[in-house]
Structure 1
């Protein structure tokens, strides 16, 4: 019997909600997505689920936002998942756009956040620094 090769993700990670809000200056940022990370063939695949929903005011800009989301997911996976091969299909379930504050950079960052949330679900959040008590 051949040993089983471990890949990312080792199991489905569903309903990963990623939000990126930055409202302190102009331009502001807004992006919200829900994606699934599914075990798949070796490599990376992206698809939009049948029945996927979008809350938006700019239907014509959705393909650009999706492309930016994919770019952010790929970038973060390349940086964070280096110890095992990728075998993942990322499935977009929901996308929310703000009529003024959404832009490609917002969705690129939401893609990065989605990977971080998925990794936290697998491995737990990174350790937080311990609070020092005043002497």
Structure 2
């Protein structure tokens, strides 16, 4: 298993599907660090339950594992929100995949072009895809 080689902080994902209609919503801000001495994947949340219910974390975890594709990292969720109607496990799984992939691009483990497919993610060095004229994404 490869380890994340360097920290990638401030990875933000805001999943907004369905313009003008209900759809999956998810919002997380994450910091990625190289794994601890034991290696492997770790997920921690510093977000109060009222802002991001713990019941959504398993879906986020599954998405992060998929997005990191075998790269070991410690992940801290530093912020996040949910919507009582539109948030779902599906949305948080998507958010996890996007955050994990963004961390790999930010750490140089994937080429920058891979980031073009990350519709809802921003990270240091990328900026807001909506403001950059990229497909998808929405400035908030």
Give me the TM-score of the superposition, normalised by structure 2: 0.67
Count of matched residue pairs: 111
- Unaligned residue ranges in structure 2 (runs of 5+): 117-140
Shift in alpha-carbon separation, 1:45–1:88, aligned structure 2, 3 A: same
Given candidates 118, 122, 128, the residue that maps to 2:103 is 118
Look up the match of 2:138: none
Give me the TM-score of the superposition, normalised by structure 1: 0.70
Of the two, which has the highest radius of gyration? 1
- 2:74 equivalent to 1:89: yes
Look up the match of 2:121: none
Q: CA deviation at 1:99?
A: 2.2
Look up the match of 1:48: 45
8 Å contact kept, 1:46–1:70: yes
Q: CA deviation at 1:21?
A: 1.2
Which has more strand, going by share of residues? 1
Which structure would you say has the larger RCO, counting Cα contacts within 8 Å and 6 or more residues apart?
1
Look up the match of 1:75: 66
